[in-house]
């Protein structure tokens, strides 16, 4: 299984220079560039609750796996008894067929029993604003990840890849951060604006002494204990994303590019169950 450190290095290996895509609006204008239509120009902005998982089957979703692509002979993705199950046996994702923007995503998950002998923390993720080709990177789509991993729920990771014509999609985010005692950045409201550069944007209270051994907990983790349901909310508002775990705001970024796309649930070596996967409209203050 690829380590998260190697994955982060691989996801940032593609250079931005010469890319045909443009930077976020403010930076593009500042550099005299043009800002094109969003990469997911047909993205839906929810005006009502949309149940991405209907509780019965995988209607409206599709799977992609590293080895078999659109075929799923091992039944990695299944639905039964009101639960969506991702076995984690093969790397890949279950994704929406539609692209979305400006939404309040609500996901409720708990870990299953299958770990396939892994000794590192249980690991999965929600990939936001996914664009480009299926399986084009690692094997996930180009996207912005809200991490689901023990000790790291709510972290941000950028996954860069290529467009249909082979050009680099320069995915990027910025966050207000502070430097922890372990030398890693953590989100801190009002902190130093920091552009993503390959180092995971840790959630605000990531334990600097956390040991990435399966089923350990950080001192300030807000993820529910093993066997219980955890609620994750990702609020996408323009080019800003806010991650909330069990009612606690744990991370935020802005200048996100792309700011629209598909939404994917990762299969990444560990069984995970979902009972809720839905979009709600943004609540606008009057």
User: Rounded CA gap, 150 and 95, in Å?
Assistant: 22
The total domain count for the chain is: 1
The CATH number of whichever domain residue 95 belongs to comes to 2.60.120.560
Measured from the Cβ of residue 281, the count of other Cβ atoms closer than 10 Å reads 14
The answer to the question of residue 233 being in a domain is: yes
Q: What is the pLDDT of residue 168?
A: 86
* Ordered per-residue pLDDT tens for the chain, 286 residues: 444 444 344 444 443 333 334 334 433 333 332 223 344 458 999 999 999 999 999 999 999 999 999 999 999 999 999 999 999 999 999 999 999 999 999 999 999 999 999 999 999 999 999 999 898 877 899 999 999 999 999 999 999 988 878 888 999 999 999 999 999 999 999 999 999 988 899 999 999 999 999 999 999 999 999 999 999 999 999 999 999 999 999 999 999 999 999 999 999 999 999 999 999 999 876 4
The answer to the question of residue 44 being in a domain is: yes
The answer to the question of residue 195 being in a domain is: yes
User: Rounded CA gap, 92 and 31, in Å?
Assistant: 37
The answer to the question of residue 285 being in a domain is: no
Helix (H, G, I), strand (E, B) or coil at 30: helix
Among 99, 104, 106, which Cα is nearest to 131's? Answer: 99
The answer to the question of residue 286 being in a domain is: no
Distances, alpha carbon 167 to alpha carbons 73, 140, 142, in Å: 32, 17, 12
Classify each residue of 84-101 as buried b or exposed e, where b means 16 or more C-beta atoms within 10 Å of its C-beta.
bbbbbbbbbbbbbebbbb
The answer to the question of residue 123 being in a domain is: yes
Q: What is the pLDDT of residue 162?
A: 82
The answer to the question of residue 155 being in a domain is: yes
The answer to the question of residue 32 being in a domain is: yes
Q: What is the pLDDT of residue 135?
A: 87
Boundaries of domain holding 242: 4-280
């Amino acid at each position: 299984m690829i380590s998260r450190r190697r994955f982060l290095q691989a996801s940032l290996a593609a250079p931005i220079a010469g890319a045909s895509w443009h930077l976020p609006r403010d930076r593009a204008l500042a550099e005299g560039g043009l800002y094109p239509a969003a990469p997911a120009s047909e993205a839906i902005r929810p005006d009502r609750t949309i149940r991405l998982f209907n509780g019965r089957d995988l209607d409206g979703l599709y799977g992609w796996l590293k080895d078999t692509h659109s075929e799923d002979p091992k039944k990695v993705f299944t639905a039964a008894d009101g639960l969506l199950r991702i076995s984690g046996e093969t790397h890949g994702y279950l994704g929406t067929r539609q692209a979305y923007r400006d939404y309040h995503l609500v996901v409720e998950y708990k870990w299953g029993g299958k770990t396939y002998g892994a000794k590192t923390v249980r690991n999965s993720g929600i990939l936001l604003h996914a664009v480009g080709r299926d399986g084009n990177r690692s094997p996930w789509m180009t996207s912005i990840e809200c991490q689901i991993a023990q000790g790291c729920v709510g972290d941000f990771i950028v996954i860069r890849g290529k467009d249909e014509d082979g050009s680099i999609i320069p995915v990027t985010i910025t966050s207000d951060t502070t430097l922890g005692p372990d030398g890693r950045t953590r989100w801190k409201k009002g902190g130093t604006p920091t552009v993503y550069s390959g180092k995971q944007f840790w959630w605000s209270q990531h334990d600097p002494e956390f040991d990435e051994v399966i089923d350990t907990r950080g001192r300030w983790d807000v993820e529910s204990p093993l066997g219980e349901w955890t609620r994750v909310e990702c609020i996408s508002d323009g080019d800003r994303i806010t991650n909330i775990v069990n009612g606690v705001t744990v991370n935020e970024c802005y200048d996100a590019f792309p700011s629209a796309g598909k939404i994917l649930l990762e299969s990444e070596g560990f069984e995970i169950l979902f009972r809720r996967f839905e979009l709600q409209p943004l609540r606008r203050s009057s």
